[in-house]
């Protein structure tokens, strides 16, 4: 969001307790606050372009994100101030309200920005992987139910607003979730063999009866046959995810939303419904290094 000189002046009056400081936060408590209350990684290097002090990082964040996120951040900081420093908050209330009013009334172009870098410090990666390994030894029927429950937990941990399976007339949908403010339907299979084109076509058929913008994610523990993917074709509304993709993304601390973003972008650029984790990561390798 584009912040003007007056916006920054008001921000400093309300939230900068001393030069470089935000209220009474230490570096550790500021990181924890943004993680727990806002799911934002305030320590990310992109917020250090103007310096590493707490105030400079928060100002840099506000300049980069969209208006909705900026207002959410300011609201959380203000609530913290009113609860922990009520007298100081009362003294700066008018300045805070003036700042919020200015941002709310900014024009559309000034309000634009990018999504913040999300923080996933509380994710228990080891437990998620351990549960995947435990499921392998279960009989087929309970394993299928456990797999669906594990997926619901996984999507919930990464704040993708999952909804469990539901039934419409004549069809069963395994669930749905929200990614980047768009809704996806989900199909999940744990078969002994890799998924063929037939199951993909059935799922694509379900999507065709929904709103035209509806997309779907098909999760197959064993993956997909090459000939099945070829027969399924390009330009579909289905994004394919394998157990291999999930395992290695968790093993390398890659959040599920990042994996799904990479797959969605690949599908948009190539028309292909599936790209294995290693191939996707090779595309990002230039920026983020090499996985071992």
The pLDDT, as a whole number, for residue 249 is 95
Please tell me the distance from the alpha carbon of residue 187 to that of residue 240, in angstroms, as a whole number.
Answer: 10
Residue ranges of E strands in the chain = 166-168, 171-173, 175-179, 182-189, 215-220, 238-242
pLDDT at 55: 98
Note whether 186 and 156 are within 8 A (CB). Answer: no
- Which residues, in sequence order, are CB contacts of 2 under 8 Å at separation 6+? 63, 106, 109, 110, 111
Read off the pTM: 0.70
Q: Which CATH number fits domain 125-288: 2.120.10.30, 3.30.365.10, 3.40.1350.10, 3.40.50.1240?
A: 3.40.1350.10
- Give residue 180's pLDDT: 85
Residues whose CB falls within 8 Å of the CB of residue 114, separated by 6 or more in sequence, listed in order: 64, 65, 66
Look up tokens 């919020």; give the residue.
100
Backbone angles phi, psi at 291, to 5 degrees: -85, 145
Spans of all domains in the chain: 5-111, 125-288
pLDDT computed for residue 281 by the predictor: 87
Q: What is the pLDDT of residue 285?
A: 43
- The reported pLDDT for the residue numbered 263 is 96
10-residue mean pLDDT profile of the chain (292 residues): values are 97 97 97 92 94 98 97 98 97 98 96 88 90 91 89 92 71 82 91 93 93 93 96 96 96 93 95 95 48 36
Strands 182-189, 175-179: pairing kind: antiparallel
The pLDDT assigned to 140 comes to 87
8-state DSSP, 193: S
Identify the helix (H) or strand (E) that includes residue 90. helix 86-104
What is residue 172's predicted lDDT score, i.e. its pLDDT? Answer: 66
């Amino acid at each position: 969001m584009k912040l003007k000189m007056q916006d920054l002046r008001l921000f400093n009056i309300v939230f900068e307790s001393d030069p470089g400081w935000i209220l009474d936060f230490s570096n550790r408590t500021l990181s924890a606050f943004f993680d727990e209350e806002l799911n934002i990684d305030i320590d990310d290097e992109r917020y250090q372009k103007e310096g590493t002090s707490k105030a400079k990082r928060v100002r840099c964040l506000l300049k980069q994100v969209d208006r909705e996120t900026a207002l959410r951040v300011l609201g959380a900081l203000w609530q913290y101030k009113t609860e922990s420093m009520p007298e100081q908050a009362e003294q700066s209330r008018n300045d805070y309200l003036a700042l919020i009013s200015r941002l709310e009334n900014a024009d559309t172009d000034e309000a634009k920005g990018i999504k913040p870098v999300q923080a996933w410090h509380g994710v228990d990666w080891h437990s998620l992987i351990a549960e995947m390994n435990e499921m392998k030894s279960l009989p087929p029927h309970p394993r299928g139910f456990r797999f669906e429950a594990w997926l619901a937990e996984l999507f919930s941990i990464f704040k993708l607003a999952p909804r469990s399976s539901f039934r419409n007339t004549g069809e069963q949908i395994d669930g749905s979730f929200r990614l980047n403010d768009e809704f996806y339907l989900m199909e999940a299979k744990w078969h002994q063999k890799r998924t063929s084109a037939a199951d993909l076509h059935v799922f694509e058929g379900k999507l065709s009866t929904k709103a035209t913008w509806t997309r779907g994610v098909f999760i197959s523990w064993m993956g997909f046959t090459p000939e099945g993917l070829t027969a399924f074709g390009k330009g579909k509304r289905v994004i394919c995810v394998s157990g291999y993709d999930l395992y290695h993304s968790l093993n390398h601390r890659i959040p599920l939303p990042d994996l799904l973003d990479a797959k969605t972008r690949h599908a948009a650029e190539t028309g292909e419904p599936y790209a294995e984790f290693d191939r996707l990561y090779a595309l990002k390798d230039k920026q983020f290094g090499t996985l071992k």
